[in-house]
Amino acid sequence: RTELGKKKKEVQGKLADAQKLLNSLTAQERAALQADQARASRDSMRNALNGSTASASGRAGAAFAAAQSVIGSPYVYGASGPSSFDCSGLTSWAYAQAGVSIPRTSQAQANAGTRIYSQSDLKVGDLVLFYGDLHHIGLYAGNGQVLHAPHTGASVRYESIGNMPFQFGVRI
């Protein structure tokens, strides 16, 4: 509990620092940041929908459809839906909508199914984990895209899987 308390304070401190930084932006800078986020979401969605994507089926398909239904929902650290999400909150909520219970954190979700190390073997709806400490997760969307809740100030959106250091996928 002591260690968790320390980690919680550390994360809360980082969030407070990030909020201070956001609050220090001028209205013009804030508008430019929002425009960049909106453009990234539109571009990613257009890229995800171009080309062929393998269709998802079964519970992965249901989870992916649930995640698609909340595109545009804001990222909020620790949120598990239905109106806001963090990365692992989105994936656990999406699979819950498909009737599948998976752990809440990205690190625990990394062990929730069968690992897939080659991006070419990923199927729509597979979990995809990023960064060496596995602190970020999303759902594979096909066509080299991931559907995820990226970070504070952004919303649930499609993004290229190559924009983050891919570690492996997990098939539930």
pLDDT at 51: 41
Residues 6+ apart with CB under 8 A from 54: 123, 124, 142
pLDDT at 46: 56
Q: What is the pTM of this model?
A: 0.72
pLDDT at 49: 52
pLDDT < 50 positions in the chain: 51-54
pLDDT at 55: 58
| Residue 130 bridge partners (DSSP) | 136, 166
C-alpha span between 57 and 63 (Å, rounded): 9
Query: Domain 2-171 carries which CATH code?
Result: 3.90.1720.10
Helix (H, G, I), strand (E, B) or coil at 112: coil
Residues involved in catalysis: 87, 136, 148
Helix (H, G, I), strand (E, B) or coil at 70: coil
Domain locations in the chain as residue ranges:
2-171
